[in-house]
Amino acid sequence: MKKILLGLLLGLPVLGYSQSFQVNLQGQKQTAMAGAGTGVALDEAAVFFNPGAVSFLKKNGVQAGISPLYLKTAFRENGSNITEYNKDKLATPVMGYAVFGNPEGRLRFGLGIYTPFGGAMHWNEDWTGKYTVTSLDLQAIYIQPTISLKITDNIGIGGGLVYSMGKVDLRRAVPLTLNNGQSGTAKLEGDTHDFGWNAGIYVKTVSGVSIGVTHRSQVTARVKDGDAKFDVPEALIAGFPTKFTAELPLPATSSIGFGFYPSEKTTIALDANWVHWNKYKELAFVYNNNQRVENTRSPRNYHDAAALRLGIQNQTTERLALRAGVGYAFTPVSEGYVTPEVPDANRVLLSAGIGYKASEHFNVDFSFLYENVKARNETNIETGLSGEFKTVAYIPGISLSYKW
């Protein structure tokens, strides 16, 4: 019985979606350019993409945006001809930025609020993998005050402290039968409050090409005294935990980006990102009651993964800008470790968007990102769930900004 119950709580993932659950939706202009933005100073979202570029922005401004994420995943168990799908539910990553200070001076200040990790996966309560997961809702919101200094006319540096607030809600079935004939259930809920940092350098070369290098630190999300809620036969409930503690690494990211300007109206951005997923070697849980669920250390063995992003912006008219992009992201999930809450694989990114200058001060930007995740047939070494996952994501977005 203990071995069965131990498997119930092994699948809580790293908070995050784009590689695994990393979210790359921090600015509408950049999203429309496949997420490239490290080597260009496009707008206030430089607070996230490269704090060193903030001092090169021509105006101060504030912006706020949202990118509703619609994820569709199909699963077919090996040996079966039945395809099961996750439920339709939107995740809603948000972002907001402000940049202020003298645009003619060397010192600028910024503030960013964004969602770099998050996700929503919901399966039917009686699906094949119900003892692995039935639903997952998670979100990590970062708040980043930033300072950017133009140390020469061509070089800017910047950095910011990150305060992270996270929430997780994971649910699954328990292989115990209730009086009504249904399976028991387990629910894990927890909050995290942690710190990290984001720093970058931005260089305008004599050839006209701009270069950016950034590093966003790992944030170790610590769930302390999370709530473990079990709906099991009353005669057994005293043996189940009510609290749990866990540490979940939100990985660091190192990026290099380039900006090319073939004409006054055209900007081409090229980014390479390296995400340090190798820190996610295992998932450990400590419970306040170990009669039926022992403390566990479950191997995950993620590896580092890269992403390449290429985007273009053309200022077609004084008021209208057109954008497009393409990218490819490699999965960090090793063979044997694919799970229903992280049905990850290598993916192709295609994007487009428009920007409209409504007045001298007001701007609106739209983006659309399509992610096609490669089909992947795996047998999970922890749960034994074996089958093929196939996922696509559709992500529209909008932001409003005011500049002065």
Q: How would you label 78-115 residue by residue, b for 16+ Cβ within 10 Å and e otherwise?
A: eeeeeebebeeeebebbbbbbbebeeeeeebbbbbbbb
Helix (H, G, I), strand (E, B) or coil at 277: helix
- Give dist(CA 257, CA 275) in Å, integer: 15
The SS3 assignment for 335 reads coil
For the CA atoms of the chain, what is the radius of gyration? 22
DSSP annotation string for 155-197: EEEEEEEEEEEEEEEEEEEEEEE-TTSPEEEEEEEEEEEEEEE
Are 48 and 40 in contact by the 8 Å Cβ rule? The answer is no
User: Which residues does 369 contact at the CB level (< 8 Å), separation at least 6?
Assistant: 25, 31, 32, 34, 35, 67, 349, 350, 351, 393, 394, 395, 397
Question: Dmax over Cα atoms in the chain, in whole Å?
Answer: 76
Q: Domain of 36: which CATH number?
A: 2.40.160.60
Q: Average pLDDT, whole number, for the chain?
A: 90
Query: Per the structure, how many domains does the chain have?
Result: 1
Distance separating alpha carbons of residues 36 and 311, to the nearest angstrom: 6
How far apart, in whole angstroms, are the C-alpha atoms of residue 15 and residue 161?
19
Residue 284: the pLDDT is 75
Distance from C-alpha of 306 to C-alpha of 287, rounded to nearest angstrom? 35
- So what's the pLDDT on residue 6? 40
Give the per-residue pLDDT at 19: 57
In this predicted structure, what is the pLDDT of residue 20? 60
CA distances from 373 to 14, 71, 92 (A): 19, 11, 20
Range(s) of the domain holding residue 88: 2-403
Identify the pLDDT of residue 21. Answer: 64
Parts of the chain with a pLDDT under 50: 1-17
φ, ψ of residue 22 in degrees (nearest 5): -75, 140
What's the pLDDT at 121?
85
Residues 46-105: pLDDT tens digits? 999 999 999 999 999 999 999 998 889 999 999 999 999 998 888 888 999 999 999 999
